[in-house]
Amino acid sequence: MLKLDNVHLAYGPITAVRSASIEVRDGEVVAIVGGNGAGKSTLLKGIAGLMPVQSGKIAFDGNDITQVPPHLRVSRGLALSPEGRQVFSDQSVYDNLSLGAYFRGLSKAQLDDEIEKQFDLFPRLRERRNQLSVTLSGGEQQMLAIARALMSKPKLLLLDEPSLGLAPKIIQEIFAIIVSLRKAGITILLVEQMANMALAIADRAYVLETGNVTMSGTGQQLLHDPKVRAAYLGVTHNAA
């Protein structure tokens, strides 16, 4: 479904992602783990078209999208739930969700129907439909960010750090939703610092270190890899 071939991404003179070649297949949850500043968000921005690719190629659904502008990537089925949520804080939950579907040209009834589906997935948002997003808790804002991305009806959902700053119970809820989205047929590329949780649900995963993909494997392989455990799972010795 998604194939990156030697993709380079840079901020002016600073290279943030070097020769990244990664693949996401239909129906998979693929995780990208790595420390602060490794280039994870940059990689997702490149895939979403929010920054230009310096060299290399990105193919989605068999088509080269390297030069396709971001809004057209959304309409082809690629949606990003960005790091830090970035919901429109002075707009209501309902309006944020409507904006997620703006290009689909839905009637009011169709739009309400789609929003109801998001409320089924995230019941907390239903109770808060007319509330300004700025007044939501961090976990609710994260749910809204994911729901807004889903309003574009993506084939591939890019999730950047959905657990960031949230309490363990809410993180578990979010991960349960990610698993249920995969069951519903949505393919997911998940960037996470919670490497243990991401690898536990991932079909496959990549490790990104200072802009380089250094390891790849199934989620389980990386979860049990001594180097990954030492670097990202806080296990320093005698890994069981």
Q: Whole-angstrom Cα distance, residue 100 to residue 79? A: 9
Q: Is residue 83 a contact residue for ligand ATP (CB under 6 A)?
A: yes
Q: Is residue 142 a contact residue for Mg ion (CB under 5 A)?
A: no
| 125 vs 208, beta carbon nearer ligand ATP | 208
Q: Is residue 16 a contact residue for ligand ATP (CB under 6 A)?
A: yes
| 83 vs 173, beta carbon nearer ligand ATP | 83
Q: Whole-angstrom Cα distance, residue 194 to residue 27? A: 22
**Residue 130 touches which member of Mg ion, ligand ATP, none, C-beta under 5-8 Å by kind:** none
Taking CB under 5 A as the criterion, the residue among 2, 9, 10, 41 binding Mg ion is: 41
Give the number of other CB atoms < 10 A from CB of residue 19. Answer: 15
The two tokens of residue 62 are: 């068999």
Q: Is residue 34 a contact residue for ligand ATP (CB under 6 A)?
A: yes
Q: Which residues contact 38 (CB under 8 A, 6 or more apart)?
A: 208, 209, 210, 211
Work out how close the CB of 164 gets to Mg ion at its nearest, in angstroms, rounded to a whole number: 9
Q: Whole-angstrom Cα distance, residue 108 to residue 104? A: 12
Q: Is residue 38 a contact residue for ligand ATP (CB under 6 A)?
A: yes
The two tokens of residue 63 are: 């088509």
Q: Whole-angstrom Cα distance, residue 67 to residue 2? A: 15
| 40 vs 204, beta carbon nearer ligand ATP | 40
| 37 vs 138, beta carbon nearer ligand ATP | 37
The H or E element spanning position 116 is helix 108-121
Q: Is residue 163 a contact residue for ligand ATP (CB under 6 A)?
A: no
Q: Whole-angstrom Cα distance, residue 211 to residue 11? A: 12
Taking CB under 5 A as the criterion, the residue among 83, 95, 203, 209 binding Mg ion is: 83
Taking CB under 6 A as the criterion, the residue among 22, 29, 39, 222 binding ligand ATP is: 39
| 47 vs 97, beta carbon nearer ligand ATP | 47
